[in-house]
Amino acid sequence: MSTNTIDPNTWVDKYSDYLFNYTIVRVDDKEIAQDLVQETFFAGLKSMKNFKGEASERTWLISILKRKIIDYYRKINSNKGKAEVRMNYINDGESEGDWLEERVSDPFDKNAESDIENTELGTAIFECIDKLPEKQANIFKMKTIQGFDTETICNEYGITSSNLWVIIHRARTAMAECLEKNWF
């Protein structure tokens, strides 16, 4: 039984800022970020019947947005897009392939091999975080792992929200390069 509901009339008010901030650090272009968020809302409207209510509305929209970002990088055929696709799309040869967040959200899709792989990936992620400059690593962990809001982090470090997003973007870029070398 689904516990979450969907109400597209509230999406722009509730999620547009969050989705834009999520996108801008990944594409680094305001107009493209805005377009991708609009495409996400449109795709969400078209696929509302597929919303099962197992995830929150925001999580569901983020999963759509991730695909839009990956598709954007695929279209421009960039290395970043190829890395994002490798991180988010799994083709095990048995089916068409699965998006990582769909696979991860399925509690019945666990086995010993995936548990080991997840542990190894977790270790690789934390090793890469340890290679970041201390301030950058702390801010990255606060924002992406611990889920602190922007204002709290900015107040703690005495930085603007723009500075925060630059630091997060640089950390993500360094993390992607590190994982590319050490994990993929």
- Between these two residues, 119 and 29, which has the higher pLDDT value? 29
> Is the pLDDT reported for residue 85 higher than 90?
no
Average of per-residue pLDDT across 70-78: 76
**Residue 132, pLDDT score:** 92
> Is the pLDDT reported for residue 99 higher than 70?
no
Average pLDDT, the chain: 76
**What is the phi-psi region of residue 121: left when phi exceeds 0, alpha when psi lies from -120 to 50, beta otherwise?**
alpha
> Is the pLDDT reported for residue 140 higher than 70?
yes
Q: Are 34 and 18 in contact (CB under 8 A)?
A: no
What percent of the chain is predicted at pLDDT more than 90? 17
Q: Which of 56-60, 83-87, 135-139 tops mean pLDDT? A: 135-139
CA–CA dist 174, 178 (Å, integer): 6
Q: Position of tokens 């982090």?
A: 153
Q: What is the pTM of this model?
A: 0.44
- Between these two residues, 2 and 13, which has the higher pLDDT value? 13
CA–CA dist 32, 182 (Å, integer): 30
Q: Is the dihedral of CA 62, 67, 68, 69 positive or negative?
A: positive
Lowest-pLDDT range, 88-97, 124-133, 149-158, 171-180?
88-97
Contacts of 124 (CB under 8 A, 6+ apart): 179, 182, 183
- Between these two residues, 73 and 101, which has the higher pLDDT value? 73
**Residue 134, pLDDT score:** 93
Which residue, 38, 133, 25, is CA-closest to 80? 25
**Residue 113, pLDDT score:** 47
**Residue 93, pLDDT score:** 46
**Residue 146, pLDDT score:** 79
**Residue 124, pLDDT score:** 78
**Residue 103, pLDDT score:** 42
**Residue 167, pLDDT score:** 92
Angle between the N-to-C axes of helices 11-27 and 57-75, in degrees from 0 to 180, rounded to the nearest 10: 40
